[in-house]
Amino acid sequence: MVVTSGHTVAGDDMDDANPVGPPPKRKPITARELARLMGVSQSAVSRAFTPGTSISPQLRQRILRAAAELDYHPNAIASMLSTRRSNIAGIVVSEMQNPFYPTLIEKLSRELQRVGLQSLMFNITRGSNIEEQLVALRKYNVDAVVVVSATVLSGASLRWATEGRAAVLVNRTIPDQTLTSVSCDNVEGARAIADHFHAIGRRQVAYVGGLPHTSTNLERQNAFITRVAELGMTLTHTLSGGEYSYEAGYRAALEIGQAKRTDAVFFANDILAIGGFDAFKDGLGLLVPEDIAVAGFDDVDMTRWPRYSLTTFRQPVDAIIERTVSLIIEQLSNEDFSPSQNPLSGELLIRHSTVGGRGLEKIGLPLPPQEQR
């Protein structure tokens, strides 16, 4: 490592500034200089670049033209300072290994850009100094915070970090519901899976969870278990993978498969399910779905691979993002805004991991379009 950043002193955060050597670089032209060069006031330049200000079209044009000429761009930092708006949204992230999230984040950051917010990423990792990260959130004066991280952060930290700014939790909630959240309707999804298992004649079912204490996991698990009971099916296992990974799914599936009394398994997300699928098929030589049906949650790309053709509950990613962004905007514009929970409807996608061969037609369901490769 080349530079160790500012050490913390006496229980408070030092500014970890100046991580690297000397100061600036070639400095770009400023509004003042441009103004002087053109013989207009600096205010005029500012106005030219601010929509909806009172400036004559002619002057604006002249200035914009000259600006283009001289490669002048308003310094965003300076304008942040005077307007007290950074036009930056902090995105707090942690589980980039689950392919569901990169996709989500990419789209989210694109949408935020569309409404004028750049995304400043904050990678929270277990083990890393979380609080320190959150301090950065505040120092950088982000206007909005989107937390896309099922894990790690306590409600208290979250409240502190987001205090006084727009905030949305995506795919997680906090118990006291003091923060706005947007997520897939996990209850709906888990029930749909249970119903589907029942519909295809399965009666011995199991649940494999991910990170035990996350709200997504708990919601899916509880809803599933409840529905299974309502339908009179037997719950043979309730396992926790411990994390959302292929390996965890694989291990859990071995355990379930070896016990030989389960005919359908709901994995709390697709990665677990895919691990489980491989364990059943390659590891134990079972037939999927004949011997055992497998369902996941999320609808990541891999579920559509012919190898898997995994039945899953699709998270309404676009809707989630749209809602998130509009909630952010609302908070940014309304003084009085009260937090809300926003579960959004997803969609059960039935594929071959639960209904094999031509079974999809047999039970009168349309072949998912994805299967028409």
Stretch that binds a second copy, among 214-222, 228-236, 262-270, 333-341 (CB under 8 A): 333-341
**Rounded to the nearest whole angstrom, what is the least distance from the CB of residue 303 to DNA in the complex?**
46
Stretch that binds a second copy, among 119-127, 151-159, 216-224, 343-351 (CB under 8 A): 119-127
Q: What whole-number distance in Å separates Cα of residue 349 and Cα of residue 315?
A: 10
Q: What is the sign of the dihedral through the CA atoms of 187, 348, 150 and 238?
A: positive
Q: Kindly report the number of other CB atoms within 10 A of residue 159's CB atom.
A: 15
- Answer with the entry of DNA, a second copy, none that 54 interacts with (C-beta below 5 to 8 A by kind): DNA
Q: What whole-number distance in Å separates Cα of residue 219 and Cα of residue 341?
A: 14
Which one, 68 or 287, has the nearer CB to a second copy? Answer: 68
Residues 65-104 that bind a second copy (CB under 8 A): 65, 67-68, 73-81, 83-88, 91, 93, 96-97, 99, 101-103
Residues 56-115 that bind DNA (CB under 7 A): 56, 58-59, 72-75, 77-79, 81-84
Q: What whole-number distance in Å separates Cα of residue 272 and Cα of residue 308?
A: 13
Angle formed by the axes of helices 270-278 and 246-259, nearest 10°: 50
| Residue 108: Cβ-neighbour burial (10 angstroms; 0-12, 13-18, 19+) | buried
Q: What whole-number distance in Å separates Cα of residue 22 and Cα of residue 231?
A: 69
Angle formed by the axes of helices 155-162 and 130-139, nearest 10°: 20
Size of the site for a second copy (CB under 8 A): 107
- Answer with the entry of a second copy, DNA, none that 13 interacts with (C-beta below 5 to 8 A by kind): a second copy
Q: Virtual CA dihedral for 226, 356, 256, 197, nearest 10 degrees?
A: 10
Q: Given candidates 32, 36, 110, 358, which one binds a second copy under the rule CB under 8 A?
A: 110
- Give the contact letters, 30-49, x = binds to DNA (CB under 7 A), - = no: xxx-------xxxxx-xx-x
Which one, 44 or 272, has the nearer CB to DNA? Answer: 44
- Answer with the entry of a second copy, DNA, none that 122 interacts with (C-beta below 5 to 8 A by kind): a second copy
Q: What whole-number distance in Å separates Cα of residue 145 and Cα of residue 153?
A: 13
User: Residue 344, interface with DNA (CB under 7 A)?
Assistant: no
Instruction: Give contact residues for DNA (rule: CB under 7 A).
Output: 15, 17, 23, 27, 30-32, 40-44, 46-47, 49-50, 54-56, 58-59, 72-75, 77-79, 81-84
